[in-house]
Amino acid sequence: MLHWTQMKKDALELQLSPSRWSHRMPADSVTEAHVKVLKEGTERARASAQTFLNVPYGEGDGDKMDVYVPRTKSRDVHLVIYIHGGYWQLLSKEESGFVAVPLFDKGVVVVAVDYDIAPKGHMDLMVSQVRRSVVSVVRQYSHISGLYLCGHSAGAHLAAMVLSTDWSQYSITPQIKGAFLISGIYDLLPVLSTYINEPLKMTEEVAVRNSPCKLVPQLKLSSSSCHIVVAIAQNDSPLFREQSEQYYKMLEASGLKVAMEDVPNTDHFNIVELMIDAESHLTKVLLTMMGKS
């Protein structure tokens, strides 16, 4: 087990820098390639699906989402909300439509959610935004037969925070059937002393209340019927891998419906890039969860 509290700052920052663990290409290249793949996939989705762009889910400038609708007359509609990564300070919904490419052929609606990234946004705001986006989706698409979350990296953290929501503060309790948490971070305390926190400016108090690993009892109350998949890349850093494994074990120990997917021959980036392909492992797992395989 890694004891991050005993690590020097540079060693901890290495563990928290996914691009430095890819075996495919240098760190600078892998992040540039990642953005390119996601943008191209999103362009493919926009060319193939019926799209509704910049749909508001709240009053703020950043409270927007893109909706990718398959050409189907079926009333048995499954819907996936995708929450992007980027360490809470990069990317947007403009690169987040790629997951729709293999899904709209199966009649699945995909919603790509934006939120105010740092430094404009802070952690409490981002968590509030993604929670409100889910409420808005449920209100706008009341005929959906299955609601699913999918988040990558920081988006997996935000998706886990959605699962941990105390819905009594809202006027609706979304029935989330499944959640895909891909290469996420579930304890924010290691981030505090690193470069990642410079634009976020999180205090310890903020980090604790926004760490999914601290909120498992609330998740058990709010999402007990949700099927959760915790996925991790073979070539994620040891710290990322440990966070996923520990979060999975905490969920399992609480009696929740959870599975672990350790995806071979992948790194932090292509584990989600591969979901553009209908034949990729995680896409198949997601479609099987929906009964669409």
Question: What is the per-residue pLDDT across 39-86, written as a single tens digit (0 to 9) for each?
Answer: 999 999 999 989 999 999 999 999 999 999 987 766 678 999 999 999
Residue 260: Cβ within 10 Å count = 16
| Whole-Å CA distances, 112 to 53, 94, 186, 190 | 9, 8, 21, 28
Point out the catalytic residue in the list 22, 136, 153, 244: 153
What is the C-alpha separation between 244 and 224, in angstroms, rounded? Answer: 19
Domain that holds residue 222: 4-289
Kindly tell me if the per-residue pLDDT of 100 is higher than 90.
yes
**E strand or H helix at 52:** strand 50-56
Q: For residue 86, what are the CA distances in angstroms to 19, 92, 115, 270, 292?
A: 11, 8, 12, 14, 29
Identify whether 280 is a catalytic site residue.
no
Set 114, 236, 237, 280: catalytic member: 236
Active site residue 236: yes
pLDDT tens-digit map of 256-293: 999 999 999 999 999 999 999 999 999 999 999 998 87
Amino acid at site 107:
G
Mean pLDDT across 224-244: 96
Total count of domains within the chain: 1
How many degrees, rounded to 5, is the angle at CA 191 between CA 201 and CA 118? 40
Contacts of 136 (CB under 8 A, 6+ apart): 57, 58, 65
Q: How many C-beta neighbours within 10 Å does residue 3 have? A: 6
The rounded Cα 158 to chain-centroid distance in angstroms is: 6
- Among 1-10, 27-36, 104-113, 172-181, where is mean pLDDT lowest? 1-10
Q: Is the pTM of this model over 0.85?
A: yes
What percent of the chain shows pLDDT beyond 70? Answer: 97
> Which residue in the list 34, 78, 122, 268 is annotated as catalytic?
268
Catalytic annotation present for 152: no
DSSP secondary structure code for residue 49 in this structure = S
CATH code at position 12: 3.40.50.1820
* Radius of gyration, CA atoms only, the chain: 18
For 87, the enclosing helix (H) or strand (E) is none
User: What value does the mean pLDDT take over residues 232-238?
Assistant: 97
- Mean pLDDT of all residues in 151-168: 96
Q: What whole-number distance in Å separates Cα of residue 235 and Cα of residue 154? A: 17
